[in-house]
Amino acid sequence: MQYRVLGKTGILVSRIAFGTGPISQLMVGSDSERQREVVEAYLASARGGDFEGLLAVLDPDVVLRADPSAVAMGALSEIRGARAVAEQAAKRRAQFARVALVNGAVGIVVAPRGRLLLVLSLTVERGKILEIEIIGDSARLDQLDLAMLSIRGYGDR
């Protein structure tokens, strides 16, 4: 898959997804908008180490799974339950994480210094995160269609 740099961010985005940014707002309906709000709240809480904020957006029975490449980078292969997932998220702080469309659904990309490292594919239902899949395998990352979502407050009119 070929990549281009997204604006001045330095983040590499697949050429397939590169052009979807301006029209992504047309594709993101009210359900997707709610999912984005949940994911943004998750990231804000993780960055701030806000354990209660994380619990507010995680389903009590949430399951986090990481592929072997993500495990090699320090992720646990599987975590079950909101408290356990929140503890891990609060420790990591999500410094390089950004909200993105992952194969058309709201998810998270982690790209330190603009290099794609991890993708979090999320299942959000009824305002809660039910599943988190952490993808670090480069072959799988190459197959994903990614599009960065605009940062709220910038360019919104």
| pLDDT beyond 80 at 16 | no
Q: Residue 26: pLDDT above 50?
A: no
- H-state helical runs in the chain: 15-18, 21-27, 30-48, 51-57, 68-72, 82-92, 138-143
Q: Where are the domains of the chain?
A: 7-148
Q: What is the DSSP string of 110-132?
A: E-GGG---EEEEEEEETTEEEEE
CATH architecture of 7-148: Roll (3.10)
Q: Encode pLDDT of 75-124 as tens digits.
A: 999 999 999 999 999 887 788 999 999 999 999 999 998 899 999 999 99
Q: Highest mean pLDDT: which of 3-17, 30-44, 101-115, 127-141?
A: 127-141
Q: Is the pTM of this model over 0.85?
A: no
